[in-house]
Amino acid sequence: MANSSRIITIRCDKCKRKIFKYEKVGRGHILRCYKKRILENYTVHEGGIIKCSCGNIIGVDRERFIKMNVVHNV
């Protein structure tokens, strides 16, 4: 079966600003965002914490991916 991917925009669950443009592979929820698939990044990094510019915590940096605080259903 072909490995289909598409480009999606993930938004902050609080203020709805853009967080990432992300190349999503397959179906289902987004629990992790792999850095190599992040095409545009609008987040603020504070140590290992990834935040929206509104201050809402988006996730935690786990080196190869970002573990999302909120499961994004796209």
Name the site residues for Zn ion (rule: CB under 5 A): 12, 14-15, 17, 52, 54, 56
Looking at the Cβ atoms of 10 and 24, the one nearer to Zn ion is 10
Looking at the Cβ atoms of 15 and 74, the one nearer to Zn ion is 15
> What distance in Å separates the CA atoms of residue 74 and residue 28, rounded to the nearest whole number?
7
Single-letter amino acid code for the residue at 52: C
Structure-block tokens of residue 47: 């140590």
> Nearest distance from residue 7's CB to Zn ion, in Å?
21
CB 68 within 8 A of CB 59: yes
Looking at the Cβ atoms of 25 and 44, the one nearer to Zn ion is 44
